[in-house]
């Protein structure tokens, strides 16, 4: 397999975008247990590359919530997302399965990666994209390219690098 050459500027922009996406995603997660998965299919590959990121959010659903993610999993996830964003011939899916604190039904949100852009999927599209592989209630995904206005800067939440 041989990837299309990409300039260092494109890689730097993709890495910055990947970090911004993760900051936005983490800022919008509610208290509970979450598993974020990413599959990226690159031209000439037999099967997609994948990354898994377990995330724990503790708190009351405010900007002061503590977000826990192991650095090695976060770094691998951001690296694969960077590759998918930099290689415009890639396609893939990023999704998060969330179980709110106190139990309850798990929810699933998905984003489709195509031509170097990550777009949110409506619930029905997410269910079709994942082909029923992920149990739970499918809900519309939110925009991961921006942080809600009341959450301030697009930085990782305070404890994003603690062991979850």
Mean pLDDT by 10 residues, the chain (164 residues): 78 94 91 95 85 93 84 95 89 92 83 92 94 90 74 44 42
pTM: 0.83
With left for phi above 0 and alpha for psi between -120 and 50, is residue 31 left, alpha or beta? beta
What pLDDT, on a 0 to 100 scale, did the predictor assign at position 5? 82
Look at residue 147 in the predicted model and tell me its pLDDT. Answer: 57
pLDDT in the model for residue 154: 42
User: If DSSP codes are grouped into helix, strand and coil, which group holds residue 28?
Assistant: coil
Q: Which helix (H) or strand (E) holds 113?
A: strand 107-114
CA distance 149 to 90: 31
Task: Note the pLDDT of residue 116.
Answer: 87
């Amino acid at each position: 397999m041989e990837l299309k050459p990409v300039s260092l500027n494109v890689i730097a922009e993709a890495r910055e975008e990947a970090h911004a996406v993760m900051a936005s995603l983490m800022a919008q997660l509610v208290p509970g247990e979450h598993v974020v998965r990413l599959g990226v299919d690159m031209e000439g590959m037999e099967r997609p590359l994948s990354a898994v990121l377990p995330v724990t959010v503790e708190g009351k659903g405010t900007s002061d919530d503590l977000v826990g993610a192991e650095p090695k999993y976060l770094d691998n996830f951001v690296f694969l997302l960077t590759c998918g964003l930099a290689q415009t011939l890639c396609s893939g899916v990023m999704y998060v399965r969330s179980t709110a604190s106190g139990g309850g039904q798990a929810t699933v949100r998905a984003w489709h990666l195509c031509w170097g852009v990550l777009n949110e999927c409506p619930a029905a599209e997410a269910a079709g994209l994942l082909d029923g592989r992920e149990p739970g209630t499918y809900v519309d995904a939110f925009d991961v390219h921006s942080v809600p206005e009341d959450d301030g800067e697009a930085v990782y939440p305070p404890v994003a690098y603690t062991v979850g």
